[in-house]
Amino acid sequence: MIEWRASCQRCLINSQATDIPNRAFSRPRLPLSRFHLMHEYEHVTPTPGSIDVIIAAAGSGSRFGDSQNKLFATLAGRPLWIHTVARLSARAEVGRIVMAVSQSDANLFQNEWSEELKQYRVELVLGGAERSDSVQAALECLEQSESADWIAVHDAARPLVRDVDLSAVFATAWQNEAAILVSPVTATMKRDVGSMNRSVTVPRRDLYTALTPQVFRAGLLKEAYRKHNGRPATDDAELVERTGHDVALVVGAADNLKITYPEDLILAEAILARQSHHA
Ligand code: CTP
Ligand code: MG
């Protein structure tokens, strides 16, 4: 029997009352230049349960083109969203996990996957029309009861994030208040400056593709969302950047793929096999 949480109308499944120890932090914030690039991180370990995770899973997977959400597509024998939550749930730093799902998928999650949701300590919340609406809903859900001082936002559609990259981005955020995983742009970049008849080459030396997780001090992310006011933003880091706060870039593995098209699943199977082999 799944109960609605009385205090939070949008929370679909209450957490299993996990005991989240010691959220206190004493580390000073380090000075950073804007968009500071972190190739390496000092070996710090955020305390157990100090980072709550928001998983954005409320999209429709329209580009994937399946009859159901791409998040239910099978990757190595299980739905890809389970790969995603399993990787995060296994981390000692992770406290609560709130996953935003769409109204049309909510029943499927609750009816078909309640055991797995319980196993991985996942609370469900109804997301919104835009990804930022879904993150906002999860933020509100976190606020309804005890929550950690740090929040990591991760796409459900990125099931391949590596443990070593989670360590790096968690540790960097813990030191610097805001950090995101990125991967260097490898393609030659062109900008159209004349209705597709004239181009300039954009140096790619300082260009990176933004990945997730994106990890923030909770107060900072909440402030960014308060100031959001519906202005379009491509990721959570952009909202934080608008507050004038530095966001550290942590170079992660490029195989932290976002499943978008069916062919991405073939690649994901191969990456997963390789990751398992090297584990
Ligand atoms: N997402 C979300 N809420 C939305 C839209 C997207 O939580 N309103 C989530 C998706 O479920 C996904 C992640 O954000 O895990 C990244 O979005 P994307 O890859 O674009 O997924 P979809 O929006 O589902 O796919 P599409 O754009 O092809 O419809
Ligand atoms: Mg989308």
Closest-CA residue, ligand 1 atom 25, reads 61
Q: Which has more pLDDT, 8 or 192?
A: 192
Give the model's pLDDT for residue 230.
80
Give the model's pLDDT for residue 12.
53
Strands lying side by side in the sheet with 150-155: 37-38, 248-251, 178-184, 208-217, 150-155, 51-57, 94-101, 122-126
Q: What is the pLDDT of residues 108-157, one digit of tens each?
A: 999 999 999 999 999 999 999 999 999 999 999 999 999 999 999 999 99
pLDDT class for 2, splitting at 50, 70, 90?
very low
Where does residue 90 rank: exposed (0-12), middle (13-18), buried (19+ CB within 10 A)?
Answer: exposed
The mean predicted confidence, pLDDT, of the chain is 87
Give the model's pLDDT for residue 45.
80
pLDDT class for 43, splitting at 50, 70, 90?
low
Pocket flag, ligand 1, residue 127 (CB < 6 Å): yes
pTM attached to this predicted model: 0.88
Where does residue 93 rank: exposed (0-12), middle (13-18), buried (19+ CB within 10 A)?
Answer: buried
Q: Closest-lying ligand to the alpha carbon of 62?
A: 1
Among 131, 214, 260, the mutation site with the greatest number of ligand 1 atoms within 8 A of its Cβ is: 131
Give the model's pLDDT for residue 38.
47
**3-state class of 70 per DSSP?**
helix
Structural domains of the chain ordered from first start:
32-273 (3.90.550.10)
